[in-house]
Structure 1
């Protein structure tokens, strides 16, 4: 009796597959959020190239500060909550 062939489309997802899908979804979510945020600054607040560039540079500076441990995301969220902006 022959062994049944397994349909390659029905193979179970490995941990690597799940992690890759998670990373892809995270990247897409961040890209979408940035596109919305910077489009609102451009279209609704009238930011031109110079001001958008300045904001982008400051965002990168804060991201670098977080990665180096100078500031935490919780600190940034708390400061925004003080201004009435709740992210969660």
Structure 2
């Protein structure tokens, strides 16, 4: 059952990332939702939580910028979050 919930939360987070990418969900809303997936984070090694929280912190800080800049790239963060999701999916599948 915990693995099913973690897998469900992973899919929800993927859907939220698509909404973020399509600008149907804001940075702070995405971050709040991502941090709430406790079953997913508990099912992964602790390093995954550290990395995700670091990405989310950068995403929230980047909300101050209205466009791409030399110090912030929204697209790069979204791509990094997708990479995190892909690795998390592989880790859950191997468990």
TM score, norm. by length of structure 1: 0.33
Instruction: Answer 1 or 2: which has greater helix percent.
Output: 2
TM score, norm. by length of structure 2: 0.31
Q: Which has the larger radius of gyration?
A: 1
Higher relative contact order, chain-length normalized (CA < 8 Å, sep 6+): 2
